[in-house]
């Protein structure tokens, strides 16, 4: 009997949608004249043994019923509060107005990263405050090497600590720490005590690439660079490769792009030659490989470095490198 009442109560509670309806149902079961209260009155007419048996069962049924009502009341109260808050809430516009845009350097780095990731490369970074060992010595540039004269270094504490002059320092750390094979690119800011003009700055950016595998050569290097230029500047881009000395590679090549400003005729941007030097590359020098502890009989590699600022200038038709660091919001 008691269980039948509780089951019927559960069924009816499912259909209750408001606190007022719940209150009316509570009166029907637990009010003074409620179904469970009437069972208590019926106890007085029962024999002693039956009364002792049914009394605890009725009390348990009353307790269970009250718990069911409490749960339903909490559920309805929360729903009511939620509806009230929703009804009272104002429509807020979270569309934040656009007040800026990515710097051309940032956009170009991201595009190049995506391009090289698609070629199977990983991205690596390194410290801007470097040691002489990683910036020069491990790149086959000892203290008395004439190549030191080509880079007017900004020292933090001479001769050991300096602002890196090239992202080749990341290459040096990569070769020392990781076991081949690997393909890695590293964009980064570099520093030299340069005379500032339209095409040079004392703060600029490099984009370094390093590949070390069992079989790789100049054709792979040229293919990689050519693919990058065509992807960034279109199939009609004109580039050239020429022999050039770099201490960290042998053989070394310089790669140039026809001047975007004068189309090869000669102007102030290309200093009248019609070409802009975009970077250098070559097969990693045996000495560099040996200093990193890499077995030269098994592994061979190539490296390349772009002058990233010049890539950006060509891509966005920027004619003065100084504006890249000048906070000009006009470039979009």
pLDDT in tens, 238-255: 999 999 999 999 999 999
What's the whole-number average pLDDT of the chain?
A: 86
Average pLDDT over residues 101-120: 92
Q: Which CATH number fits the domain that encloses residue 154?
A: 3.30.930.10
Over 90: is that where the pLDDT of 46 sits? no
**Alpha carbon 326 to its chain's center:** 26
- Per-residue pLDDT reduced to its tens digit, 152-199: 889 999 889 999 999 999 999 999 999 999 999 999 999 998 888 887
Q: Is residue 23, in this structure, part of any structural domain at all?
A: yes
Q: Is residue 330, in this structure, part of any structural domain at all?
A: no
Q: How many CB atoms lie within 10 A of CB 68?
A: 16
The predicted structure's pLDDT at residue 76: 78
**Claim to verify: residue 319 and residue 292 sit in the same structural domain:** yes
Q: Which two tokens stand for residue 247?
A: 């201490």
pLDDT grade for 329, boundaries at 50, 70 and 90: low
More confident residue, 167 or 323: 167
pLDDT grade for 263, boundaries at 50, 70 and 90: confident
pLDDT grade for 129, boundaries at 50, 70 and 90: very high
Nearest Cα to 280, choosing from 308, 244, 240?
Answer: 244
**Claim to verify: residue 21 and residue 121 sit in the same structural domain:** no
Rounded to an integer, what distance in angstroms lies between the CA atom of residue 286 and that of residue 296?
A: 7
**Claim to verify: residue 77 and residue 117 sit in the same structural domain:** no
**Claim to verify: residue 138 and residue 10 sit in the same structural domain:** no
* Among candidate residues 87, 119, 147, the one where a domain is terminated: 87
CB distance 215 to 283 below 8 Å: no
Residues 6+ apart with CB under 8 A from 29: 5, 9, 35, 36, 65
**Claim to verify: residue 150 and residue 70 sit in the same structural domain:** no
DSSP 258-286: E-TTTTTS--TTTTTSSEEEEEEEEEEPH
**Claim to verify: residue 165 and residue 281 sit in the same structural domain:** yes
Q: Is residue 285, in this structure, part of any structural domain at all?
A: yes
High-pLDDT (> 70) share of the chain, %: 91
More confident residue, 166 or 99: 166
Q: Which two tokens stand for residue 329?
A: 């919001």
Nearest 10 degrees: Cα torsion 311, 312, 313, 315: 90
* Among candidate residues 55, 87, 119, the one where a domain is terminated: 87
Q: Which long-range contacts (CB under 8 A, 24 or more apart) does 291-299 make?
A: 291/137, 291/138, 291/140, 292/138, 292/172, 292/175, 292/176, 293/176, 294/175, 294/180, 294/212, 298/214, 299/180, 299/181, 299/212, 299/213, 299/214
Q: Is residue 142, in this structure, part of any structural domain at all?
A: yes
The predicted structure's pLDDT at residue 195: 85
Nearest Cα to 285, choosing from 153, 171, 170, 124?
Answer: 171
CA distances in angstroms from 171 to 149, 177, 288, 308, listed in the order given:
21, 10, 10, 17
> Which of 47-51, 70-74, 77-81, 82-86 bottoms out in mean pLDDT, i.e. has the lowest?
82-86
More confident residue, 122 or 201: 122
CB distance 142 to 192 below 8 Å: no
Q: Is residue 97, in this structure, part of any structural domain at all?
A: no
Q: Is residue 201, in this structure, part of any structural domain at all?
A: yes
CB distance 253 to 282 below 8 Å: yes
The predicted structure's pLDDT at residue 199: 77
> Which of 81-90, 178-187, 199-208 bottoms out in mean pLDDT, i.e. has the lowest?
81-90
- Strand-pairing partners, residue 191, are 203
Q: Highest mean pLDDT: which of 44-58, 103-117, 254-268, 307-321?
A: 103-117
Q: What is the DSSP letter of 197?
A: S
**Claim to verify: residue 109 and residue 58 sit in the same structural domain:** no
Quote the number of domains for the chain.
2
Q: Is residue 98, in this structure, part of any structural domain at all?
A: no
**Claim to verify: residue 109 and residue 76 sit in the same structural domain:** no
Average pLDDT over residues 57-67: 80
Nearest 10 degrees: Cα torsion 279, 213, 232, 323: -40
Over 70: is that where the pLDDT of 84 sits? no
Pairing outcome for strands 300-307 and 203-213: antiparallel
CB distance 166 to 136 below 8 Å: no
Could you tell me the residue range of the domain that residue 61 belongs to? 2-87
- Per-residue pLDDT reduced to its tens digit, 6-26: 788 788 888 888 888 888 888
**Claim to verify: residue 160 and residue 298 sit in the same structural domain:** yes
High-pLDDT (> 90) share of the chain, %: 46
* Among candidate residues 56, 87, 118, the one where a domain is terminated: 87
Instruction: Name the 3-class secondary structure at 209.
Output: strand
Q: How many CB atoms lie within 10 A of CB 282?
A: 21
Q: Is residue 15, in this structure, part of any structural domain at all?
A: yes
CA distances in angstroms from 12 to 6, 8, 37, 77, listed in the order given:
10, 6, 18, 18
**Claim to verify: residue 206 and residue 289 sit in the same structural domain:** yes
**Claim to verify: residue 317 and residue 176 sit in the same structural domain:** yes
**Claim to verify: residue 194 and residue 302 sit in the same structural domain:** yes
């Amino acid at each position: 009997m008691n269980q039948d009442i509780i089951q019927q109560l559960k069924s009816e509670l499912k259909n209750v949608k408001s606190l007022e309806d719940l209150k009316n149902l509570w009166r029907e079961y637990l009010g003074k004249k409620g179904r469970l209260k009437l069972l208590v009155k019926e106890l007085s007419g029962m024999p002693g043994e039956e009364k002792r048996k049914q009394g605890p069962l009725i009390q348990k049924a009353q307790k269970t019923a009250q718990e069911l009502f409490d749960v339903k009341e909490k559920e309805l109260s929360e729903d009511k509060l939620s509806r009230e808050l929703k009804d009272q809430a104002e429509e807020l516009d979270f569309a934040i107005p656009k007040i800026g845009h990515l710097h051309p350097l940032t956009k170009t780095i991201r595009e190049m990263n995506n391009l090289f990731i698609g070629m199977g490369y990983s991205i690596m970074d390194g410290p801007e405050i470097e040691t002489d060992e990683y910036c020069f010595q491990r790149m086959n540039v000892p203290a008395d090497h004439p190549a030191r004269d080509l880079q007017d270094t900004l020292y933090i504490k001479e001769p050991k600590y300096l602002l890196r002059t090239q992202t080749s320092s990341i290459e040096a750390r990569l070769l020392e720490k990781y076991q081949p094979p690997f393909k890695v690119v590293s964009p980064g800011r570099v520093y030299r005590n340069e005379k500032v003009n339209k095409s040079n700055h004392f703060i600029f950016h490099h984009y370094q690439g390093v590949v070390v595998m069992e079989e790789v050569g100049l054709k792979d290097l040229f293919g990689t660079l050519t693919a990058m230029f065509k992807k960034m500047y279109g199939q009609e881009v004109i580039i050239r490769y020429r022999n050039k000395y770099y201490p960290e590679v042998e053989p070394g090549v310089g790669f140039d792009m026809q001047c975007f400003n004068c189309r090869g005729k000669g102007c102030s941007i290309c200093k009248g030659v019609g070409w802009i030097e975009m970077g250098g590359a070559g097969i990693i020098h045996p000495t560099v490989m040996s200093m990193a502890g890499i077995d030269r009989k098994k592994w061979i590699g190539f490296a390349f470095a772009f002058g990233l600022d010049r890539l950006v200038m060509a891509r966005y038709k920027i004619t003065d490198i100084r504006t890249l660091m000048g906070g000009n919001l006009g470039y979009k």
